[in-house]
Amino acid sequence: MTIVFLDASTVGDVPNLESLRDLGDVTFYDVTHPDETAERIREADIIITNKVVLTRELMEDAKNLKLICIAATGMNNVDREAAKDLGIEVKNVAGYASVSVAQTTFAMILHLQMNLSGYDEFVKSGGYSESPIFTNMHHNYHEISSMRFGIIGLGNIGQKVANIATAFGAEVVYYSTSGQNTDQPYQRLELDELLKTSDVVSIHAPLNENTDNLISAEQLSLMKPSALLINTGRGGIVNETDLAQALDSESIGGAALDVFENEPIKSDNPLLGIKNKDRLVMTPHIAWASVEARTELIEGVKKNIETFIDA
């Protein structure tokens, strides 16, 4: 089998990446630009892609193509209807990043709630050395155990986050974006009620017709002035212009985003120019990317290829 990994740099330096060579003749490309895709996949039997877009035209030109392995859970970079028409299988990997995303979610919450960077700077700048008291009382923080934790999207990742929040002693409530997830040990609320009453709102939903622009100015206005909004789900769920305005008007307490409507983030994104920078944490879509999660992802890709070859 001729296997081409179009954007291997997206999974970084993982210990099992080279094990893909056990499955066939593998070519690794760090990055593939749109004008390079056609040539690189033309002779391939199997393509591995994380973010590289595969259109009908590209697949029609790749006459040997039999399998597309997506090194991710999301599959919207591949025209799956075209793949089906052409008899090309498309397989993704699900569930590999639940622990990693949940961990990052709480890193973000604790960063915002505890003001660790502010305290760290206070000590390192010499402020603590000159302080007449033994501490710093300029920032109030609260215990998670006193909070209502609202989760939007209670799938595998949302459930991990709920478990951790419960371990902290928080009250967990949730909103089902599909309207079908009802058999859970937590109270299910409609979105407006969840937003009005939660101290933390954490998004773990896919981007679809139910969630596109789900959180915009109207919804943000319902939140408590002290509440935190966390999005490690998908960009496009939160209206970024409206969020920037909410942060600068101090109508919510803070926000943390790992995903954006356009990735990488555009240089003119209003979030990059907000005044209240201490109320916002942004990370470059890395919540999924612990070493353990990326290693499990490659194992999932490898298993998908093995299953296809053995079929």
Q: Could you list the active site residues?
A: 234, 263, 285
Q: Per DSSP, what are the bridge partners of residue 231? A: 203, 257
Containing H/E element for 151?
strand 148-152
Instruction: In whole angstroms, give the CA distance from residue 156 to residue 211.
Output: 17
Helix boundaries (H) for 169-271: 191-197, 217-220, 240-248
The answer to whether 2 and 21 have CB atoms below 8 angstroms apart is: no
Query: CB-based contacts of 127: which residues, under 8 Å, 6+ apart?
Result: 121, 136
The answer to whether 35 and 58 have CB atoms below 8 angstroms apart is: no
Instruction: In whole angstroms, give the CA distance from residue 288 to residue 98.
Output: 7
For the chain, the first-to-last Cα distance in angstroms comes to 14
Residues in the chain: 311
| Pairing status of strand 187-188 against strand 2-5 | unpaired
